[in-house]
Amino acid sequence: MVSVLISSGKGGTGKSFIALSLALTALSSGYKVLLVDADVGNPSIKSLLRVNRYDMVSEVKHFKPEIDDLKCTKCGVCVNLCPSHALVLIPKKKLVFIDTLCEGCRLCLYACRYNAIKAGYDVVGWVYRYRHRDLEVVSGELRPGKKVEELIIRKLIEYLREHIDTSKYDLVVVDGPAGTSKKILELLDMVDTVVCVVESSITALQDFIKLLKLIPKGNAIVVLNKVGIDSYTDEKLRSVLKNLSIEWIEIPFLEDLHLFYGGIKELEELNSWSIIRERIKILLNILIKASQPPSS
Ligand code: SF4
Ligand code: SF4
């Protein structure tokens, strides 16, 4: 089994498009594929596949304090301890809880000497599964307005470990969150290789270099996406990758891709699908080769 995380230093590089193209290409080549949508703040695979039906497998719950106004003395202890400023004291009047800022650390619950705080719970996200033809997908999703992406990713990983036998699959593709925050660290532990999607721009290059610092040496492969818009930057990116001894493939800027994003055509119906498929097959071969033990 080959497992790969599709990541990018910044949003908008076409990361989910590459994850989906890789999964569909591998399926059409006869591989058994599991696609994991771990971009929990913006899980787009479901809408890219235009899937409406899914099986909810778990609600992700999170601690939230329930304040008893009658018992609260307005002493302010919990306010001073709260690491995320989710509790605000209006002197002599009221203790106010700001739901969207709460990290669920429970410090306020343990700190209150007057039993004025009880444990309550809030649904902050979901884990669900669906199928698109032969493609199986497991996805995490953060409830809009919540800020606990890491918690949803952790629950998604827990679900995969407890309920999915990944050894049944030839390829597990994980569409991870964009950026260089610690959100991707737990996902890195799950996979053999990381594919970094980089578009042709200097800011994308800078973000990619930051992302590379998180990835164990030798575990990164690059997809240069939207090549051909700016040949000067394309050349610069190629020379950086050569210097870093990182393998890469290139996907040209595809004029008909908006038909896919706009919901007019499926990915495999695009005129450019044959180009995408041919390039992605090269990536698939690199991934398979990288997963094989070196011959002695
Ligand atoms: S620590 Fe307890 S009593 Fe003091 S302000 Fe907080 S909830 Fe109220
Ligand atoms: S659980 Fe933690 S973050 Fe939330 S209100 Fe209490 S102290 Fe603040």
Domains of the chain (ranges, CATH numbers): 2-59+125-291 (3.40.50.300), 69-115 (3.30.70.20)
Q: What is the pLDDT of residue 294?
A: 64
User: In which element (H, E) is residue 157 found?
Assistant: helix 149-163
Radius of gyration of the chain (CA): 22
Protein residue with its CA nearest to atom 8 in ligand 2: 82
Does the beta carbon of 77 sit less than 6 angstroms from any atom of ligand 1? Answer: yes
Q: How far is the CA of 62 from the centre of ligand 1 (A)?
A: 21
Rounded Cα distance, 23 and 275, in Å: 16
Contact (CB, 8 A) for 188 and 3 = no
Q: What is the pLDDT of residue 295?
A: 62
For ligand 2, what atom is nearest to the CA of residue 78?
7
Contact (CB, 8 A) for 11 and 178 = yes
For ligand 1, what atom is nearest to the CA of residue 74?
5
Protein residue with its CA nearest to atom 3 in ligand 1: 72
Does the beta carbon of 73 sit less than 6 angstroms from any atom of ligand 1? Answer: yes
Q: How far is the CA of 178 from the centre of ligand 2 (A)?
A: 27
Q: How far is the CA of 74 from the centre of ligand 1 (A)?
A: 5
State pTM to two decimals.
Answer: 0.89
What's the token pair of residue 261?
């994003």
Closest CA to 211 of 22, 6, 2, 4: 6
Q: How far is the CA of 126 from the centre of ligand 2 (A)?
A: 22
Burial group, residue 123, by CB count within 10 angstroms (0-12, 13-18, 19+): exposed
Q: What is the pLDDT of residue 246?
A: 93
Protein residue with its CA nearest to atom 7 in ligand 2: 82
**How many of the other CB atoms lie within 10 Å of CB of 16?**
22
Protein residue with its CA nearest to atom 6 in ligand 2: 108
Q: How far is the CA of 124 from the centre of ligand 2 (A)?
A: 15
Task: Name all residues whose Cβ lies below 6 A of ligand 2.
Answer: 63, 65, 81-84, 86-87, 102-108
Does the beta carbon of 75 sit less than 6 angstroms from any atom of ligand 1? Answer: yes
Q: What is the pLDDT of residue 88?
A: 96
Which ligand minimizes its atom distance to the CA of 114? 1
**Which residue positions in the chain have pLDDT lower than 70?**
293-296
Does the beta carbon of 86 sit less than 6 angstroms from any atom of ligand 1? Answer: no
- CB crowding 166-183: b at 16 or more within 10 Å, else e: eeebebbbbbbbbbbeeb
Which ligand minimizes its atom distance to the CA of 112? 1
